[in-house]
Each structure stands twice: as structure tokens, then as C-alpha cells.
Structure 1
Amino acid sequence: MFVRKIVTALAFVLAASGVASAQSPTRIQQFNAWGAYSYQAGNGKVCYVLSVPKEKSPASVDHGDIFFLVSQRPGQNISYEPQAMMGYQLQDNSKVNVVVDGRTFVMFTKGNSAWVENAAEEPALVAAMKSGKAMSVNAKSRRGTETSYSYSLSGISAALKQIEACK
């Protein structure tokens, strides 16, 4: 049920983001909290690892479906790009902070997603996730609600290794 929910949600997200030629994602394998997935897009195969938060705050609001993923898009020359996807619209011009074991990485926002502000820091974030114990994501909704999510990093290294050879 959990996997079906993720695949369905991602198929919707891909369609909504204009990836019209994308097929439904296929789960490659699950590694503890992280799953490895792939799909065919118009300009080649896309592979990614994905997890959902183990805790959401504040508990009193509907967060929708929340994901954190790291994608590989060889056809676009993109390797290990972290992205936060929220179940709501993020506040315009706000920042999302990803904290791994006390180290903060800043993401810029657009719509319901966020990407690392300084692309040169993407490898450092991925490396921190691979060696880290805890990760949190802090964001602000379009309505001004401060939100926070805690993720398990258990399985991230094995999941990333699984998509290394994405072609």
C-alpha cells in the first residue's frame, strides 16, 4: 500500500510538472527508509531515490504527501540532484533548510518544490546524507505556516548505489 501510494503520487507529480512523456515510475528496490525508482522520460531514463518523513510538524495541519528525493537524469547531464517536494505550495521567495547532523544546506523554492540554492553544494549534501544519522527539512507554506520534517537516513547509501549506473 505504501509503495503504491508513492508511485501514484509521483506519477501525478510528474504529470503535473509537465513531464508529459514520462511513464509511471517503476520501483527498483526498497532499502529501509529509501526506495530506488526509475522511469522513461522524453530525453532518457530518470532514476531517483525517495523517502517520506518519519515525523511531521506541526501535527495539527494537513501536510499532504511529502517527499525528499535525489535524482539522476543522464540525458540532461544531471547527477544526484536533491529535491524536497511538499504536499502544499511553498511561500514565494522563501528558503527551505535541510539539516544533516547539524550542517545546514539552503534550498530555493518554486511552487511545491525546493532545490539546493548553490548547485556546487549538491555533492556535499548527498555525501552528508550518506554518512549522516539524522536529517530534517524546514519550510514555510504559502500561508505562512512553519513546517518541519524528520527523515531516517537508513538505506540512503544502498539506494544511491542502486541508481549509480542509471543510463
Structure 2
Amino acid sequence: MTETVCVGAIAGSYGVRGEVRLKSFCADPEAIAEYGPLTGDNGASYSVTLTRPIKNGFAARLGGVATKEEADALKGVQLFAPRDRLPATEEDEFYHADLIGLRVVDTGGTEIGTIRAVMDHGAGDLLEIKGPGLKNTVLLPFTRACVPTVDLAGGKVVADPPEGLF
């Protein structure tokens, strides 16, 4: 498990007074302000104050950012919170960061590949799997039927993919 988890990203500036457009990746989007100070992938630390909801996120003030130019320069910066500040997960609930990099084996124990990403396009999560015998990545539905076992301690998931997927 990682020591930090990506909880949001800066999408650019908002207005002319140094506010930023903030995308929250949290289950409760407003909770991103409670996990601060957040560390950017640029190495800087930011306190976060949400000022108002806007389309696709929030307008926010970040500590140390006072001008539109400073806010513009932060576009694309990902924000991370220490894992111990985040709420504990419930049974059958996982942080995406914990799943990425896990080995994927089939129900017979044969290694299929590793999880490269977890995607959610609205109809449920998909695991992007890259494997040694695969020309392209494969998207596996992250459901109890297709992934009956997640073993974080063992560093693997057991997959029962639909026929013909691999």
C-alpha cells in the first residue's frame, strides 16, 4: 500500500484572484479540503479552502497561491493526501491506489498480468490489465463475479474472466 493517495488535481485557474479549478477524486468530493495540507506532485504543500462548487469540481484557494499566473502554472498538478488522514475502507471497498500494480491470476493460479489502472466510466469500475501474452491491455469488469478475491496482503487478485476475454 502506498503512503499517499491521489485525492484530486488542479485543472487551472478560476477567475483573476488566484483561485484554482479543483477536481476532487474523493467519494465525498468536499472532503478533499479536510485531508490537507495536500502535497502536489510538484513537491509543494498546499492548504485547501473550497470557495464554491463549479462545473466539474470546485473553485478553491490554495495556500501560497495569490495570483492568476501562479494558479495557471499549477494546471495539471495532482494532489496527494497522507493515507492515515483518509477514512478506513469498508469490506469489499478499496482505494484505486491499492489495486494498481497487483498481480492478476486466474482461478487456476495462472498469472494473467498486472493491474495498470482502475477506470470508472459510469457503469462500474473496470480493471485495465497488462500481461505478458497480451498484445493490448484488457478491461476486466471489477465485479464479484469477475474478481471473486482481492488479496491486498498477498499482492494479487483472483480473476474469473468471461469466456474469450483473454
TM-score, length basis structure 1: 0.29
Larger Rg: 2
TM-score, length basis structure 2: 0.29
**Bigger proportion of residues as helix:** 1
More RCO (CA 8 Å, sep 6+): 1
